[in-house]
């Protein structure tokens, strides 16, 4: 991560699903800007590896191995983080699952698994963090995707889950706004070097096709999503709440001539 453009010194940031890919990049961005981090995901090995990368002069990162579908485990992690660090200033909800599957061949449990990780998981982490978040200046970033408003074949589960997340964003921006809490979604376009694109564009041919469909002609970088998360959580975005912000090289604007 290059020199930080943002200052989150003395701020506490919890990133659910923050142990790999885009969400780990967001955690690294905040850590480079001085924040003290908490990260959570299922794999203890991934949690340990992330924690080892996220400490800074302001404190070591705290890690939690949990499944966001387990509301009690999420509540306990929030409790333990707040006991150690005192408060949460920024909450990032980014845990997700996705795979390509035609709806007719997707089992109800396959559909439910993605809805539960993405949508119920986002509700669980926001609900658990509410008591610690509810103060002026607090920010929630939910990680959505353009699938929330652009239907994509073979992703009925992710399309439905991400659309639900954006309505959670808008609804809780309204409920929590009076307390000074801002709630926004970031919708990344295709981002290079991630598990998501390994799954959605698994061949070189599919990757090239996907890049051509982006008006800017390339996949995004993880740091570009981290930068948006920090901007949205900074005072510079003090009047931005209830927004769903695409960071996608214009790929969700319409049909591309290249795709
Ligand atoms: P990733 O590396 O697989 O990140 C997913 C993270 O969530 C991992 O840390 C994973 O760790 C954790 N996770 C998954 N299921 C979980 C569960 N049930 N409970 C707790 N943690 C869980 O994928 P990514 O591609 O970077 O995607 C990150 C986010 O960006 C997702 O919300 C995704 O939908 C969104 N997004 C990605 C793209 C893209 O181009 N990649 C585009 C649009 C949106 P564990 O395995 O240890 O649980
Ligand atoms: N196609 C169709 N169905 C699939 C599938 C696929 N590729 N992968 C899993 N499923 C189904 C399973 O068959 C199962 O349904 P069943 O019980 O009716 O057989 C259901 O989904 C749950 O699978 P399971 O492996 O038990 O779920 P899990 O909770 O361990 O893992 C996933 C969740 C399936 C979303 C898994 O892919 C995951 O952990 N993903 C996280 C990483 C990721 O997706 N990153 C990209 C983020 S964009």
Give the pLDDT confidence of 179-224 residue by residue, as tens digits. Answer: 999 999 999 999 999 999 999 999 999 999 999 999 999 999 999 9
Average pLDDT, the chain: 97
Confidence band for 259, pLDDT divided at 50, 70 and 90 = very low
Q: Evaluate whether residue 256 is within a structural domain.
A: no
Contact 127, 146 (CB under 8 A): no
Q: How far apart are CA 204 and CA 218, in angstroms?
A: 14
Give pLDDT tens digits for 225-253.
999 999 999 999 999 999 999 999 999 99
Q: Which of 110, 155, 159 to mutate to test the pocket of ligand 2 (most atoms within 8 A of CB)?
A: 110
Q: Which of 113, 117, 155, 162 to mutate to test the pocket of ligand 2 (most atoms within 8 A of CB)?
A: 113
Q: How far apart are CA 226 and CA 88, in angstroms?
A: 18
End-to-end CA distance of the chain: 31
Q: Evaluate whether residue 6 is within a structural domain.
A: no
Give pLDDT tens digits for 63-80.
999 999 999 999 999 999
Query: Reduced to 3 states, what is the DSSP secondary structure of residue 150?
Result: coil
Q: Could you tell me the CATH number of the domain that includes residue 152?
A: 3.40.50.720
Confidence band for 5, pLDDT divided at 50, 70 and 90 = confident
- Atom of ligand 2 at shortest range from CA of 42: 39
Nearest to 237, CA basis, from 251, 222, 227: 227
In sequence order, the 6+-apart residues with CB closer than 8 A to the CB of 131 are none
pLDDT confidence of residue 255? 79
Q: Evaluate whether residue 20 is within a structural domain.
A: yes
Work out how many domains the chain is built from and give that number.
1
Q: What is this structure's pTM?
A: 0.98
pLDDT confidence of residue 1? 53
Torsion of CA 208, 213, 219, 225, to 10 degrees: -160
Q: Which domain holds residue 82?
A: 12-245
pLDDT confidence of residue 148? 98
Q: Evaluate whether residue 228 is within a structural domain.
A: yes
Q: Evaluate whether residue 253 is within a structural domain.
A: no
147 lines ligand 1 (CB under 6 A): no
96 lines ligand 2 (CB under 6 A): yes
Q: Evaluate whether residue 235 is within a structural domain.
A: yes
Q: Evaluate whether residue 83 is within a structural domain.
A: yes
Give pLDDT tens digits for 141-191.
999 999 999 999 999 999 999 999 999 999 999 999 999 999 999 999 999
């Amino acid at each position: 991560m290059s020199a930080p453009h943002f200052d989150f010194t003395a701020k506490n940031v919890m990133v659910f699903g923050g142990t790999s890919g885009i969400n780990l990049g967001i955690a690294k961005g905040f850590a480079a800007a001085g924040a003290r981090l908490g990260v959570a995901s299922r794999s203890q090995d991934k949690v340990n590896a992330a924690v080892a990368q996220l400490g800074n002069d302001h404190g070591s990162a705290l890690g939690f191995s949990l499944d966001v579908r387990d509301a009690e485990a999420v509540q306990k992690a929030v409790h333990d983080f707040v006991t150690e660090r005192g408060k949460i200033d920024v909450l990032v909800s980014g845990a997700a699952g996705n795979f390509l599957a035609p709806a007719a061949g997707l089992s109800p449990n396959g559909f439910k698994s993605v809805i539960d990780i993405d949508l119920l998981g986002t509700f669980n982490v926001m609900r658990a963090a509410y008591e610690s978040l509810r103060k002026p200046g607090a920010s929630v970033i939910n990680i959505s995707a353009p699938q929330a408003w652009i239907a994509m074949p073979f992703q009925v589960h992710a399309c439905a889950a991400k659309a639900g997340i954006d309505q959670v964003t808008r609804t809780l921006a309204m409920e929590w706004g009076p307390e000074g809490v801002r709630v926004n979604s970031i919708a990344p376009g295709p981002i290079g070097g991630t598990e998501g694109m390994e799954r959605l564009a698994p061949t070189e041919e599919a990757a090239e096709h996907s890049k051509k469909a982006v008006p800017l002609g390339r996949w995004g970088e993880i740091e570009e999503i981290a930068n948006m998360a920090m901007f949205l959580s900074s005072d510079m975005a003090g009047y931005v709440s209830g927004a769903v912000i695409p960071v996608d090289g214009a790929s969700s604007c319409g049909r591309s001539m290249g795709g």
